[in-house]
A and B are shown apart, each in its own frame.
Chain A
């Protein structure tokens, strides 16, 4: 991995975020919302509205508004919420923290389950175990999260009363309760990820097990298990890194539904609230933070990949 590659990827992230900021700003421009009306309410006088617009720079040309917004963003000021009058940055970042907690727990659970499932399916290809794993995967891919979430709440919270149905308790406040509230959402998200990743691991491993170098290792007298561990898994799991990184995109977007169902005040839920309230600075901040998170995760994945597979020589 050359410094070239890292530098190039970093510049690409900046570039991507710049494009995202342009798009976000453009979208908020065409949204049917007037920041002045939002702040002063429907009954404000024309004079008051005009004064506020002038004050907020809303009469300036669009590109000036964009430049001023971007300038503030670069200095760490993501704007002030029109709804609450509070700075949106800290609110969104706090929400992102909750979402990331949910995401990392889900990814963790997924990795613990999906990789062994994929391996079992690949090693016992065509046998019962493979078919069961395939069935679970297809079910996971086919069922939308709002179905699995609703069923999960119905069964484990309403019927069995094992777990709290919805809500969020910070882990620092009450650890046990916090975890209990996280179990169902984490499981619901993991089901889809497991389906995805176990199929990926299975097909990659099946391919790798048919390569010449696996055969060569077996013919050197190395046992099945050692060949699987030392020779096959590393190569088969490499593409999984990319898939997991792409799934973070899903987690950030698709998790909105799960956060809504389980009433978790994550970034997805904050964004929904912001959109409903036409809170332009909050929407801009939320989307920008999500895009940045996604870019950084994919950057890390690419670096990790290049580090694990020395053949990759990006220029």
Chain B
């Protein structure tokens, strides 16, 4: 088949994919029609389980054994990939079509140097010798904006930052000038500022090479920033596709509208701006520091001083009764360390005053303190015991902190409070969806009627639409219970919607605390401004 400028580089034509499972056939993809042209970025947006990653595996011809393809074609510059032999596909991959993965820390082999992993593509597809490939690799690392390409080639993955690693992955995807690249959530595992830089790099390389790009993401805001066209996928079907402008301006489907509405928008505040009485905070933290690591053995016997890793550096802040204090910062900034210190999971130095009481160390955190200070974790899968029924999970805090009479009744009430059916009490965590599990974790935290609830990235593992409903629930619970929240997140748009004040952390230090409404003011600290600058603006605002 001859290719003309009008022939799409990647065309998916009425393609369906099924999986044979123990409980029958699962339709992963149904009648997908998509086309990506040269120089174009097509955004594929969907929630987890929508089939967007399955589609990527179909295109790359990397399907599990139980996959069945009842119909359709996948054309790369007019050639049907479904008809190719394994050897032909192997020669295609990395040369004519390549992929950038979500998490650079798992998609790079931990025991091979970055250079080895980049050079092997060049050796495989461009017939270079190892030495030539190594030289070429250096040039490519330079092209993806790494400052010391020669040194970077020799580094092991654990010696590079997440952003640097993703640049290496991108360099190998672009290494053989492919016709098409699939980007599977390439910035999800990265920090806000880093992901902004990676996105800029992607846009730049894309424009330079004109590669047809399929950009897969759950984040509409992000996609609207890069893509020219968007396809919305739900339960294996494309519900809507069109130009970014049209999708945001005139969404045709309810689902698309829901998705757009669920994206946090800082302009749309969900809490009132309250002025808190100063001088009577619920919690006051004074110079709290946390250090990790022990003294190395040689240092200990030779008496040399060793540097400890600081998780928190003399943090001071206070939380008022009924206040939502947001804590933002990149991973490793010490957000969770602070939460752990406040719940007694980390040793700390410094003072914590809680409700008039002084807490000097973990030993001072007695039952009364633990009843008043509850924490909800990021992954409900890890924080709910998989072998306990929901009723057992929820009755534990009741037995510990309250009276243990009429447990069934109370557990049922708690479930209703978090909008779950009472019958869920008899289920196990794995029988619940991610959002439902997080609701159970919320119910458990509120069982002891706490005064402070620490939310540690509790919506990060959830889809946007689920996140929106969980956040709404949290705000309602706060209204009825009057509890204060320490809300830790990396999602600035979300925290600007729900927090009264926002604390910005960077490398273990507290940069500043500002009223949420003022966080984007130009008077803010330099780091805060950079952070705000890097956040993708909510859907539609790029138009």
Given contacts A3-B298, A222-B120, A311-B156, contact A216 B107 (CB under 8 A): yes
Interchain CA distance A217-B108 in the complex, whole Å: 8
Tell me, rounded to whole Å, the shortest Cβ–Cβ distance linking B294 to chain A.
7
Residues of B within 8 Å of A211, CB to CB, are: 106
Residue among A8, A221, A310, A311 making CB contact with B91, cutoff 8 Å: A221
Asked if A230 is an interface residue, CB under 8 A from chain B, the answer is yes
Given contacts A7-B297, A8-B297, contact A222 B124 (CB under 8 A): yes
Given contacts A219-B94, A221-B125, A230-B120, contact A213 B298 (CB under 8 A): no
Interface centre among B125, B294, B297 (most CB of A within 10 A): B297
How many chain B residues touch the partner (CB < 8 A)? Answer: 34
Residue among A219, A220, A235 making CB contact with B120, cutoff 8 Å: A220
Asked if A86 is an interface residue, CB under 8 A from chain B, the answer is no
Asked if B60 is an interface residue, CB under 8 A from chain A, the answer is yes
Residues of B within 8 Å of A8, CB to CB, are: 297-298
B109 and A310: CB pair below 8 A?
A: no
Asked if A42 is an interface residue, CB under 8 A from chain B, the answer is no
B93 and A219: CB pair below 8 A?
A: yes
Q: Which A residue's beta carbon lies closest to that of B56?
A: A219
Residues of B within 8 Å of A315, CB to CB, are: 293-294, 296-297
Interchain CA distance A301-B439 in the complex, whole Å: 47
A235 and B95: CB pair below 8 A?
A: no
Size range of the chain A interface in the assembly = 20 to 34
Asked if B172 is an interface residue, CB under 8 A from chain A, the answer is yes
Interchain CA distance A4-B301 in the complex, whole Å: 10
A175-190 contacts to B (CB < 8 Å): none
Residues of A within 8 Å of B106, CB to CB, are: 211-213
Tell me, rounded to whole Å, the shortest Cβ–Cβ distance linking B302 to chain A.
10
Interchain CA distance A311-B106 in the complex, whole Å: 14
Asked if A98 is an interface residue, CB under 8 A from chain B, the answer is no
Stretch at the interface among B9-17, B96-104, B385-393: B96-104
Q: Mark A19-37, 1 if CB is under 8 A from B, else 0.
A: 0000000000000000000
Residue among A3, A220, A309 making CB contact with B93, cutoff 8 Å: A220
Residues of B within 8 Å of A11, CB to CB, are: 297
Residues of A within 8 Å of B103, CB to CB, are: 212
Residues of A within 8 Å of B93, CB to CB, are: 218-221
Tell me, rounded to whole Å, the shortest Cβ–Cβ distance linking B245 to chain A.
33
Asked if B49 is an interface residue, CB under 8 A from chain A, the answer is no
A221 and B124: CB pair below 8 A?
A: yes
Residue among B99, B110, B293 making CB contact with A311, cutoff 8 Å: B110
B298 and A219: CB pair below 8 A?
A: no
Q: Mark B119-134, 1 if CB is under 8 A from A, else 0.
A: 0110011000000000
Tell me, rounded to whole Å, the shortest Cβ–Cβ distance linking A6 to chain B.
9
A205-233 contacts to B (CB < 8 Å): 211-223, 230-231
Interchain CA distance A211-B101 in the complex, whole Å: 13
B266-316 contacts to A (CB < 8 Å): 293-294, 296-299
Residue among B108, B111, B124 making CB contact with A216, cutoff 8 Å: B108
A219 and B110: CB pair below 8 A?
A: no
Residue among A7, A215, A222 making CB contact with B62, cutoff 8 Å: A215
B52-101 contacts to A (CB < 8 Å): 60, 62, 90-95, 98-99, 101
Interface centre among B103, B156, B296 (most CB of A within 10 A): B296
Asked if A308 is an interface residue, CB under 8 A from chain B, the answer is yes
Asked if A72 is an interface residue, CB under 8 A from chain B, the answer is no
B109 and A7: CB pair below 8 A?
A: no
Given contacts A4-B298, A230-B120, A310-B156, contact A219 B99 (CB under 8 A): yes
Given contacts A3-B298, A221-B95, A230-B120, contact A235 B101 (CB under 8 A): no
Tell me, rounded to whole Å, the shortest Cβ–Cβ distance linking A241 to chain B.
13
Asked if A234 is an interface residue, CB under 8 A from chain B, the answer is yes
Q: Which A residue's beta carbon lies closest to that of B173?
A: A220
Residues of A within 8 Å of B117, CB to CB, are: 217
Tell me, rounded to whole Å, the shortest Cβ–Cβ distance linking A131 to chain B.
17
B470-523 contacts to A (CB < 8 Å): none
Asked if B112 is an interface residue, CB under 8 A from chain A, the answer is yes
Q: Which B residue's beta carbon lies closest to that of A220?
A: B94
Interchain CA distance A51-B91 in the complex, whole Å: 88
Residue among B90, B120, B156, B296 making CB contact with A4, cutoff 8 Å: B296
Given contacts A215-B62, A315-B293, A315-B296, contact A235 B91 (CB under 8 A): no
Kindly list 19 other residue pairs between chains A and B, CB separation below 8 angstroms, not including A4-B296, A309-B111. Answer: A2-B298, A3-B298, A4-B297, A7-B297, A212-B101, A213-B108, A213-B109, A213-B110, A217-B109, A217-B117, A217-B120, A219-B60, A221-B124, A222-B124, A231-B112, A235-B110, A308-B111, A310-B156, A311-B156
What are 29 A-B pairs at a CB distance below 8 A?
A4-B296, A4-B299, A8-B297, A212-B103, A212-B106, A212-B107, A213-B106, A213-B108, A213-B109, A216-B101, A217-B117, A219-B62, A219-B93, A219-B98, A220-B94, A221-B90, A221-B93, A221-B121, A221-B125, A222-B94, A222-B121, A222-B124, A230-B112, A231-B109, A234-B111, A235-B109, A238-B111, A311-B111, A311-B156
Binding site for A on B (CB under 8 A): 60, 62, 90-95, 98-99, 101, 103, 106-112, 117, 120-121, 124-125, 156, 158, 169, 172, 293-294, 296-299
Enumerate the 8 nearest inter-chain pairs by beta-carbon distance, A residue then B residue, closest first.
Answer: A221-B94, A221-B93, A220-B94, A212-B106, A8-B297, A216-B107, A315-B296, A213-B109
